[in-house]
Amino acid sequence: MSNLGQYNAGIISTGRALPIGKITNADLETILETSDDWIQTRTGIRERRMVTGDETNSDLCVTASRIALERAGLKAEEVDLLIVSTVTPDLTLPSASCLVQSKLQARNAFVFDLVAGCSGFLYGLTVAEKFIQAGTVKNVLLVGVDVLTPIMDWQDRNTCVLFGDGAGAAVITRVEAERGLMASKLYADGDKAELLYTPAGGTKNPANYGTVEDRMHYVRMNGKEIFKFAVKVMTESTLEVLNICELSPTNLDYLIPHQANIRIIESASKKLGLLPEQVIVNIERFGNMSSASIPVALDEAVESGKIKEGHLLALVAFGAGLTWGAAVLRW
Ligand code: UT7
């Protein structure tokens, strides 16, 4: 998917929202047979954020979106398309994006949800680009959001230590030819669906006493298989998008990888020949926030001044589905 359309699309602003609630590794030590040492060494995570009280997925979307819109100098009514990438909507019906549209009063936007696990922000970025390139819309608001703590099995140390809640928003619009998204590649392999899934709550196994008793509404994961897969596809898809642009990893100012496990990030970065300072990492503070990982990391890096205009960035992700992909863009 190289850039062939009428208009060039690029991210012009970002915003993020993280719940105030925190779970530290020390907190987890009190409820599980685990240790701060194991979690830090095996995953790189020290703490993660957690929604509390009435706080919801759509609330996080609204906070992150308002920041991104303000930074873009846009009013909510100027959004033509709103995409919410999530696997953890407030409700199964209607869509998360309809709830966000209402809270934001983005009255002129058409809206939809995008379900691609942790690769969702990359999928959304590519979809947004296609609408912009075609001239169908001008301003897209893309939110990568996940609220995973309510669907964690807090008795399963293989999963619950890894995930956290958060949202990252981006305004994507027409930009000059030398800026914006340069290439992206997206993939999926549904044969691997059961490596990371929630068995109940859909129409196949609607909620009943049995599904609750069997803890089927929580996330189940084969971490080892995903680990091996992730290192391979992160490396390959980053090289592939760089190749499309006739570039190599040495040309990159920053790689922003999905934040699932520091060992995955380090293995892939090493295979790509990147220096640690070329890789944006925030996993120690937030864990794996699925769709929100990349936009939150991007927003932090832009806000801190690390990422500057003209920088060459690669984004790369993998997640439930399985899905994966990468993108190259000029900031
Ligand atoms: O966005 C995509 C989402 N998923 C992922 O990215 C997951 C990718 N996978 C991973 O990050 C890693 O595979 C895990 C962090 C999930 C697990 O790390 P690992 O190094 O692959 O550990 P393991 O599954 O091989 O388990 C090693 C040992 C086992 O004990 P035994 O059988 O050797 O006695 C586990 O039971 O570590 C044990 N273990 C733990 N011990 C303390 C697993 N989880 C924990 C824990 N605390 N939280």
Answer whether 8-177 and 182-330 agree in fold: yes
> Which token pair is 243?
């190749």
Question: Has 311 been annotated as catalytic?
Answer: no
Residues 166 and 145 sit within 8 Å (Cβ to Cβ): yes
Q: Which CATH superfamily is domain 8-177 in?
A: Thiolase/Chalcone synthase (3.40.47.10)
Distances (CA, A) of 313 to 97, 101, 266, 279, 330: 28, 30, 17, 10, 6
Minimum-distance ligand 1 atom for the alpha carbon of 34: 47
pLDDT score for 157: 97
**Residue 57, C-beta contacts closer than 8 angstroms, at least 6 positions apart:** 86, 88, 89, 90, 96, 145, 146, 147, 167
Determine the Cα–Cα distance for residues 291 and 304; give it in Å rounded to an integer.
Answer: 21
pLDDT score for 1: 46
**Closest C-alpha to ligand 1, atom 23:** 224
Residues forming a β-bridge with 168: 16, 144
Q: What does residue 241 show for φ and ψ, rounded to 5 degrees?
A: -70, -35
pLDDT score for 310: 97
Q: Which amino acid is at 121?
A: F
- Sheet of 140-147, strands arranged across: 8-17, 165-175, 140-147, 81-85, 110-114
Domain ranges of the chain: 8-177, 182-330
pLDDT score for 4: 53
pLDDT tens, 271-326?
999 999 999 999 999 999 999 999 999 999 999 999 999 999 999 999 999 999 99
Distances (CA, A) of 63 to 19, 90, 99, 122, 302: 10, 15, 13, 21, 18
Residue 129 neighbours by CB distance under 10 Å: 24
Q: For the chain, what is the mean pLDDT?
A: 97
Residue 128 neighbours by CB distance under 10 Å: 25
**Closest C-alpha to ligand 1, atom 17:** 223
Question: Has 160 been annotated as catalytic?
Answer: no
Minimum-distance ligand 1 atom for the alpha carbon of 43: 15
**Closest C-alpha to ligand 1, atom 38:** 158
Strands 47-49 and 81-85: unpaired
Residues forming a β-bridge with 316: 257, 326
Residues 283 and 43 sit within 8 Å (Cβ to Cβ): yes
Q: How far is the CA of 194 from the centre of ligand 1 (A)?
A: 17
Determine the Cα–Cα distance for residues 89 and 64; give it in Å rounded to an integer.
Answer: 16
Query: Of the listed 8, 25, 61, 258, which one is catalytic?
Result: 258
The ranges of the chain with pLDDT < 50 are: 1-2
Residues 173 and 49 sit within 8 Å (Cβ to Cβ): no
Question: Has 245 been annotated as catalytic?
Answer: no
Mutate to test the pocket of ligand 1, among 48, 85, 158 (most ligand atoms within 8 A of CB): 158
pLDDT score for 142: 98
Mutate to test the pocket of ligand 1, among 39, 42, 318 (most ligand atoms within 8 A of CB): 42
Determine the Cα–Cα distance for residues 157 and 245; give it in Å rounded to an integer.
Answer: 42
Closest CA to 329 of 184, 182, 185: 182
What is 182-330's CATH number?
A: 3.40.47.10
Minimum-distance ligand 1 atom for the alpha carbon of 159: 16
Mutate to test the pocket of ligand 1, among 227, 291, 294 (most ligand atoms within 8 A of CB): 227
Strands 110-114 and 81-85: parallel
